[in-house]
Amino acid sequence: MSTPSPAEDATGAHEHVLHRISEELAATYSGGFAAETIERYVFESYAALARTAKIKTYLPILTRRFAQDRLSALAHAQGKQPSGTPEVLFVCVQNAGRSQMAAALLKDLAQGAINVRSAGSMPAEHLDANVVTAMEEIGISLEEQFPKPLTDDVVQAADVVITMGCGDTCPIYPGKRYEDWNISDPAALDLEGVRSVREVLRSRVQELAA
């Protein structure tokens, strides 16, 4: 029996939308990747996000963003579209707290001078509410962020990989800088505790950027 194609594995309700996303991204990356590669990335990204999503209404929108980010990382890693800026990846278990906060803090600090991503070894369904509140208190919105699975392409694209509590799940590639930050998990803390984590991360991020 032949292996089903990515299209055949997709849930039917969104299959036509995923094909359209694939076509749009194929135009964006024309000459960089084959259409089949882009379609595979789109359908794989959808399947990965669908594993944790209870409500699938917004999955196509998130899939487009996730697939495009992965393709951008792949293009950078393969030298097809180098970003020209340092690439930093933050990884924690659920990508719902620490890694999201650190990524948002570095993005705010760097103002485009550093390309920042985050991911989780076992991503949650949504961001921690206290994390969102704590970041809003300092003027940083996480409204458009969502937990993303850790994929090989974003690791390969990174110059610096910061892990927080995810053990040895992150693949190791030569020539990259790896750091493990011992930071408390916001999921087990109240809002005041999350504020403390935010300030610890702010200090660590400032040191990293410097």
Angle, helices 35-50/59-77, rounded to nearest 10 degrees = 130
Specify whether the CB–CB gap between 18 and 46 falls below 8 A.
yes
Let me know if 92 is a catalytic residue: yes
Q: Which of 158, 166, 197, 205 is catalytic?
A: 166
Contacts of 183 (CB under 8 A, 6+ apart): 98, 164, 165, 197, 200, 201, 204
The residue annotated as part of the active site, out of 10, 18, 131, 170, is 170
Q: Does the annotation count 170 as an active-site position?
A: yes
The helix/strand/coil state of 89 is strand
Look at the chain and count its residues: 210
**Which of 10, 92, 102, 105 is flagged as catalytic?**
92
Active site residues: 92, 166, 170
